């Protein structure tokens, strides 16, 4: 009886351990925890006028390869810029200090990330340096707006511009926007 | 006139049932300290209620994940968003399907056996015999099963989720040819530990309590006949399922 009871307890213990293993697997491998790098890192700062949908822990990529993550996003009270802190893996310490940072979207529906485009400077970024060259997130509405306005201004002397604006599919007389259909 | 009176008495009986269920819960909670002396019994119940349900949970989790992979691949391909398959599958599993389907399977697999066991104890006067021996059946029979259900359900839900992800990966990546890296990286970038995984665990904790509460209540209050036990077993599945889905809605609304 005592032996039987002990075998039950061993089985129950194994079952509970299996549960914890499954939970640990789910929590560390399939969630944002998987993106945490525990290794040393250094910080870069970058100012953007608009970060779009950029979130904390969004990836920072060089040439499409993940090198770090966004560790902090605050609004600068006086300049009204978004100050983004990038936490870069110590491993990648040879990023030229004239590199540019841009907020890009991965795919059509994907999340936003920060792409660092390497410059040509012989010096590299150090801890708490600022990325001076930044490019804000593309806002789809702005792009559409620009396209419409561009279409209008491409036809000087057109009296009924508003009517034209309502038909953006009208054949583009301007040469600045190549159609990519 | 008598038909109206019958309906009325049925309605009153239904409310009385709900009240009895609530009082039974209070009684169980009061018996839990005394049941801690029977910790080995609780461990045995975790084994019977949880570990013995592993096979059905794992099989069903695998198939649910595979079906999700196929269906969502089809839907997402309409919008050209198949890259989000991993995200959608894992979110729907963690937040909704894992806890709920596990609870429904649990009610069918473990809840019925709890009801039948306790019901037969009632029918064969074993519970009365225990009281005669000054052993509180609530502390020795009911509370260990209740605790076991609360402990086992989140574990089973985790296993279910893991098997579901495995199944979706099998269908999406191995068969339909999605990119492995895209599948995982989209998942890891949009699934949050606290908001998704742990919220699902809260749900399954509650479902574990609800399912075992209903099962032990039906067994404990069964009519002491073979027909009564059969009836109680059926009601366990019906009430557990309804309560699980209703509470799921409420909890989803709160945990959003």
Q: Which residues of A touch B187 (CB under 8 A)?
A: 30-31
Query: Where on the phi/psi map is residue B72: left (φ > 0), alpha (ψ -120 to 50), or beta?
Result: alpha
Q: What does the alpha-carbon distance between residue A97 and residue A86 come to, in Å, rounded to a whole number?
A: 14
Q: Which of B80, B154, B196 is nearest residue A31 as measured by Cβ atoms?
A: B196
Residue A49 confidence class, pLDDT cut points 50, 70, 90: confident
Q: Which residues of B touch A9 (CB under 8 A)?
A: 40, 43
Does A167 score more than 70 pLDDT?
no
Query: Count of alpha carbons within 13 Å of A172, Cβ hemisphere only?
Result: 14
Interface contact flag, A8 B197, Cβ < 8 Å: no
For residue B155, what pLDDT is reported? Answer: 95
For residue B129, what pLDDT is reported? Answer: 93
Taken as a whole, chain B contains a residue count of 256
User: B201 burial class (0-12, 13-18, 19+ CB within 10 angstroms)?
Assistant: buried
- Read off the pLDDT of each residue in A30-35 and give the average, rounded to a whole number: 73
Query: In this structure, what token pair is assigned to residue B41?
Result: 């019994």
- Read off the pLDDT of each residue in A160-180 and give the average, rounded to a whole number: 46
Query: In this structure, what token pair is assigned to residue A131?
Result: 């990325």
For residue A179, what pLDDT is reported? Answer: 46
Q: Which residues of B touch A30 (CB under 8 A)?
A: 90, 165, 184, 187-188, 191
N-to-C CA span, chain A: 77
- Read off the pLDDT of each residue in A46-53 and give the average, rounded to a whole number: 86
Please provide residue A67's backbone torsions phi and psi, each rounded to the nearest 5 degrees: -120, -10
For residue A36, what pLDDT is reported? Answer: 62
Pick A61 or A151 by higher pLDDT: A61
Q: Which of A27, A58, A110 is nearest residue B193 as measured by Cβ atoms?
A: A27
Instruction: Using CA coordinates, name the residue in chain B closest to A2.
Output: B40
- Tens of pLDDT, residue by residue over A124-142, are 888 888 888 888 877 777 7
Q: What does the alpha-carbon distance between residue B47 and residue B66 come to, in Å, rounded to a whole number?
A: 28
Arithmetic mean of pLDDT over chain A: 76
User: B109 burial class (0-12, 13-18, 19+ CB within 10 angstroms)?
Assistant: middle
User: Are residues A134 and A48 in contact, defined by beta-carbon separation less than 8 angstroms?
Assistant: yes
Interface contact flag, A23 B201, Cβ < 8 Å: yes
Query: In this structure, what token pair is assigned to residue A91?
Result: 């491993």
Q: What does the alpha-carbon distance between residue A95 and residue A35 come to, in Å, rounded to a whole number?
A: 21
Per-residue b or e along B23-45, where b marks 16 or more CB atoms closer than 10 Å to that residue's CB: ebbebbeebbeebeebeebbbbb
pLDDT digits (tens), chain B, 256 positions = 567 777 788 888 889 988 999 999 999 999 999 888 888 889 899 999 999 999 999 999 999 999 999 999 999 999 888 888 999 999 999 999 999 999 999 999 999 999 999 999 999 999 999 999 988 899 999 999 999 999 999 999 999 999 999 999 999 999 998 888 888 888 887 888 888 999 999 999 999 999 999 999 999 999 999 899 999 999 999 999 999 999 999 999 988 7
Q: Is the CB of A34 inside 8 Å of chain B's CB atoms?
A: yes
Chain A / chain B CB contacts < 8 angstroms:
95
CB neighbour list of residue B219: distance below 8 Å, 6 or more residues apart: B114, B115, B116, B117, B118, B119, B121, B122, B229, B232, B236
Query: In this structure, what token pair is assigned to residue A8?
Result: 């039950």
Interface contact flag, B165 A30, Cβ < 8 Å: yes
Q: What does the alpha-carbon distance between residue A86 and residue A95 come to, in Å, rounded to a whole number?
A: 13
Q: How far is CA A5 from CA A13, A63, A71, A81, B41, in A?
A: 12, 59, 51, 66, 9
Residues A25, A28, B158, CA angle at the centre, nearest 5°? 35
What are the structural domain ranges in chain B?
A: 2-255
For residue A89, what pLDDT is reported? Answer: 84
User: A43 burial class (0-12, 13-18, 19+ CB within 10 angstroms)?
Assistant: middle
Q: Is the CB of B51 inside 8 Å of chain A's CB atoms?
A: yes
State what percent of residues in chain A have pLDDT above 70. 75
For residue A137, what pLDDT is reported? Answer: 79
CB neighbour list of residue B111: distance below 8 Å, 6 or more residues apart: B211, B212, B214, B215, B236, B237, B240
Q: Is the CB of A36 inside 8 Å of chain B's CB atoms?
A: no
Interface contact flag, A110 B83, Cβ < 8 Å: yes
- Tens of pLDDT, residue by residue over A50-94, are 888 888 878 888 888 888 888 888 998 888 888 999 888 888 888
Q: What does the alpha-carbon distance between residue A71 and residue A93 come to, in Å, rounded to a whole number?
A: 17
For residue A175, what pLDDT is reported? Answer: 45
pTM of structure:
0.75
């Amino acid at each position: 009886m005592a032996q039987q009871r002990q075998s039950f307890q061993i089985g129950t213990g194994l079952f509970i351990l299996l549960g914890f293993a499954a939970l640990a697997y789910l929590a560390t491998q399939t969630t944002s925890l998987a993106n945490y790098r525990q290794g040393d890192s250094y910080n870069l700062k970058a100012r953007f006028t608009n970060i779009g949908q950029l979130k904390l822990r969004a990836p920072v990529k060089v040439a499409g390869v993940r090198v770090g993550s966004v560790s902090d996003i605050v609004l600068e009270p006086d300049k009204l810029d978004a100050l983004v802190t990038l936490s870069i893996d110590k491993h990648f310490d040879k990023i030229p200090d004239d590199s540019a940072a841009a907020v890009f979207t991965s795919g059509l529906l994907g999340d936003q990330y920060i792409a660092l485009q390497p410059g040509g400077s012989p010096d590299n970024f150090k801890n708490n340096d600022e990325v001076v060259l930044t490019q804000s997130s593309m806002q789809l509405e702005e792009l559409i707006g620009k396209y419409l306005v561009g279409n209008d201004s491409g036809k000087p002397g057109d009296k009924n511009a508003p009517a034209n604006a309502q038909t953006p599919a009208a054949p583009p007389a301007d040469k600045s926007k190549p159609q990519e259909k | 006139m008598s038909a109206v009176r019958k309906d009325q008495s049925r309605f009153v009986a239904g409310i009385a049932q709900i009240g009895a269920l609530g009082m039974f819960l209070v009684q169980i909670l009061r018996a839990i300290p005394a049941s801690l002396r029977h910790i080995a019994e609780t461990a045995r119940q975790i084994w019977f209620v949880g570990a013995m349900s592993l096979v059905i949970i794992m099989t069903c989790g695998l198939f649910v994940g595979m079906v999700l992979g196929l269906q969502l691949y089809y839907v997402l391909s309409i919008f050209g968003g198949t890259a989000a398959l991993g995200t959608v599958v894992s979110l729907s599993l963690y937040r909704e399907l894992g806890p709920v389907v596990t609870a429904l399977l649990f009610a069918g697999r473990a809840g019925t056996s709890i009801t039948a066991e306790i019901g037969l104890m009632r029918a064969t006067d074993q519970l009365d015999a225990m009281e005669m021996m000054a052993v509180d059946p609530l502390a020795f029979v009911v509370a260990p099963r209740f605790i076991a259900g609360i402990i086992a359900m989140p574990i089973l839900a985790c296993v279910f989720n893991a098997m579901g992800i495995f199944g979706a990966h099998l269908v999406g990546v191995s068969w339909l040819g999605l990119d492995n890296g895209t599948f995982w990286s989209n998942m890891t970038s949009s699934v949050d530990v606290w908001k998704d995984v742990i919220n699902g665990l809260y749900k399954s904790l509650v479902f574990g309590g609800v399912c075992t509460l209903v099962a032990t209540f039906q067994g404990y209050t069964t009519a002491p006949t073979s027909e009564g036990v059969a009836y109680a077993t059926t009601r366990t599945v019906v009430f557990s399922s309804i309560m699980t889905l209703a509470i799921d809605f409420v909890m989803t609304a709160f945990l959003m």
